Amino acid sequence: GVHGFQRVTLAELKEHNTPDDAWSVFNGMVYNITPYLPFHPGGEDELMRVAGRDGTKLFMLTHSWVNLDFMLKECMVGVLVRG
Ligand code: HEM
């Protein structure tokens, strides 16, 4: 079940759109991408394009083979909900 996950709305997600406080959604899950920014092989600017929004489509276009769930396990914030 989803117990233990924070429920995040789209409005809330949109507020986290700066490098110091960047959240993004991949496959319905919300991640804090700020700690990963300096490590992203594609650069910070590329990753910041999806800050505050759903990054699933761009992620799949660039590197669908990357195991995001595993890499950002520690950065998971919660689950995106309607509202
Ligand atoms: C490269 C991880 C999001 C654009 C990479 C690579 C990893 C990675 C591991 C190296 C892949 C390889 O060499 O096979 C991640 C993770 C993401 C993320 C964990 C989500 C948190 C994004 C997004 C974009 C993007 C949203 C585009 C807007 C790129 C590009 C490269 C790259 C262009 C290629 C860099 C190069 O080889 O010169 N990323 N990425 N990434 N990523 Fe991401």
Reported ipTM: 0.93
- What would the mean pLDDT of 17-27 be, rounded to a whole number? 98
Q: Using CA atoms, how far apart are residues 19 and 28, in angstroms rounded to an integer?
A: 21
3-state secondary structure of 43: coil
Spatial CB neighbours of 28, under 8 Å, sequence gap ≥ 6: 79, 80
Average pLDDT, the chain: 95
Domain segments of the chain as ranges: 6-81
* 17, pLDDT greater than 70: yes
Residue 21 C-alpha from the chain's centroid = 11
**6-81: CATH architecture:** Roll (3.10)
Q: Are 56 and 20 in contact (CB under 8 A)?
A: no
- Looking at the chain, the whole-number percentage of residues with pLDDT higher than 70 is 96
Task: Name the residue of 25, 36, 46, 57 to mutate for ligand 1: max ligand atoms within 8 A of Cβ.
Answer: 46
Residue with tokens 């919300």: 30
